[in-house]
Amino acid sequence: MYKKEISKAVINRLPRYYRYLGDLLEKDVVRISSKELSEKMKVTASQIRQDLNNFGGFGQQGYGYNVEYLHSEIGKILGLDTNYNVIIIGAGNLGQALANYVDFERRGFFVTSIFDISPKLIGTQIRGIPVLSGDELEEYIKNNKVDIAAITVPKTKAPGTAAELAKWGIRGIWNFAPTDLNLPKDVTVENVHLAESLMKLSYRLSGNEDI
Amino acid sequence: MYKKEISKAVINRLPRYYRYLGDLLEKDVVRISSKELSEKMKVTASQIRQDLNNFGGFGQQGYGYNVEYLHSEIGKILGLDTNYNVIIIGAGNLGQALANYVDFERRGFFVTSIFDISPKLIGTQIRGIPVLSGDELEEYIKNNKVDIAAITVPKTKAPGTAAELAKWGIRGIWNFAPTDLNLPKDVTVENVHLAESLMKLSYRLSGNEDI
């Protein structure tokens, strides 16, 4: 379909469009012009028109975009018209923070279980979500639909954990460990490298241009 | 200086180079060829040579790069040859997770205090770092060198908090709230939008190409 032709840069902007349109929906805004959207997004209006034309052009000249329709169409492109079951590997602070993000559910991402190896944590619940033993992970994956595993274990354990998850059938990995995972090609990895984000900040603070 | 000519794409790759080189240093690797580095980084060798040539070419034909020197030079470019004092606003799970990342200290980022409004948390410590009352924030910033504030408060409170931090003199904001902050131009903001990262993952899981 058309998706194959869309550039990475456009796709990278879509989650932000989606977020903005969601904010507008919450405020009961029905229509928005590319000019207004551009002021909010800090992208030129022509860039916005170009971006959205990639998906068949949701707008009408001089009339603006229907917020709800655009939000829903972009949601479909982003794969948000379905639900995802998510497990979290590691019930430390970061794992708990992720389990507590109710916003993810609004977008169709449901945390079903959290896994840890600490006897202190196993058997507890986080926002009603059970913390299970790492020993149960393989069986859990085999008996339940799990779409995404978020990895919040220490750096040294992450590659081994990810390899096991892939072997047991997980196809989506959300990796928070500051290391790269070498996984089979049919496994999709999205990295959140916090230290790298902090380094971009220090680069800019040390008197360099915006990146 | 030369920095002004360097493209955003190159700068965005530098933290990753820095991380890899740090891993090599830990393994006592002294030299690395662009070919080996390219296999690790999954970037072509010619891309690596091009990237590093931007900074005056740290390598020698047929001889490879001196890992320690390259690591240190890239560190300087990223502003890592100095220390940053960081405060965390919000001592919830995410704030605690950030306070617990010892890795940041290795790179010169020191969390000096955490601020919260919850009486349960004020007066406690996280890894020896005190949790102070939000009421003390203004005075703290005026009396201490604070380079970066990490914002982990709820979305609705983030814009107001950020505006106050900017007013009190903070020039670097690391924003984890899923909203954009409108701050004066002399304030540098680095966003970590977790929901957007998750949407990129769902886009790719729903049968689209790699982004």
A91 within a domain of the structure (yes/no) = yes
B211 within some domain? no
Q: Which of A77, A92, A123 is the last residue of a domain?
A: A77
Are A154 and A92 spatial neighbours (Cβ–Cβ below 8 Å)? no
In this structure, is residue A206 part of a structural domain? no
- B15 and B71, same structural domain? yes
Report the pLDDT value the prediction gives residue A60, as an integer from 0 to 100: 63
Residue where one domain finishes, among candidates A27, A50, A77: A77
> Which one of B10, B201, B208, B211 would you mutate to disrupt binding with A, by most A Cβ within 10 Å of its Cβ?
B201
Q: Is residue A208 part of a domain?
A: no
Which residues in chain B have Cβ-Cβ distances shorter than 8 Å to A190?
Answer: 197-198, 200-201, 204
Shortest alpha-carbon distance between residue A95 and chain B (Å): 8
The DSSP letter of residue A208 is -
B160 and B133 co-located in one domain: yes
Find the closest chain B residue to A186 by CA distance.
Answer: B205
Low-confidence residues in chain A, pLDDT < 50:
1-4, 211
B129 lies in a domain? yes
CATH number at residue A97: 3.40.50.720
The predicted structure's pLDDT at residue A2? 45
Residue A183 to residue B182: CA distance in whole angstroms: 39
Judge: B101–A202 Cβ closer than 8 Å, yes or no.
no
Q: What is the CATH number of the domain that holds A58?
A: 1.10.10.10
A148, A192 Cβ separation under 8 angstroms: no
- Show contacts of A131-138: CB within 8 Å, 24+ apart: A131/A91, A134/A89, A137/A89, A137/A164, A137/A165, A137/A168, A138/A164, A138/A168
Statement to judge: residues A32 and A69 lie in one domain: yes
Q: What is the pLDDT of residue B58?
A: 66
Is there a single domain that holds both residue B185 and residue B99?
Answer: yes
Question: What does the pLDDT read at residue A74?
Answer: 92
Which of B49, B77, B105 is a domain's end point? B77
Whether B111 is in a domain gets the answer yes
Q: Which residues contact A37 (CB under 8 A, 6 or more apart)?
A: A17, A20, A45, A48, A65
Mutate to test the interface with B, among A202, A209, A211 (most CBs of B within 10 A): A202
Determine the pLDDT at residue B1.
42
Query: Are residue B100 and residue B160 in the same domain, yes or no?
Result: yes
Note whether B109 contacts A82, CB cutoff 8 Å.
no
**Shared-domain flag, residues A44 and A94:** no
- Structural domains counted in chain A: 2
In 3D space, the residue among A203, A200, A195 whose CA is nearest the CA of residue A177 turns out to be A195
Which of A37, A198, A200 to mutate against chain B (most B CBs within 10 Å)? A198
pLDDT in single tens digits along all 211 residues of chain B: 444 467 878 888 899 999 999 999 999 999 998 888 888 888 888 888 888 887 766 666 667 888 999 999 999 999 999 999 999 999 999 999 999 988 899 899 999 999 999 999 999 999 999 999 999 999 999 999 999 999 999 999 999 999 999 999 999 999 999 998 989 999 999 999 999 999 999 999 987 655 4
Domain extent at residue A180: 84-196
Q: Quick one: pLDDT at residue A41?
A: 82
Q: Is residue B205 part of a domain?
A: no
pLDDT of amino acid B2: 45
**Nearest beta carbon to residue A94 from set B18, B97, B104:** B97
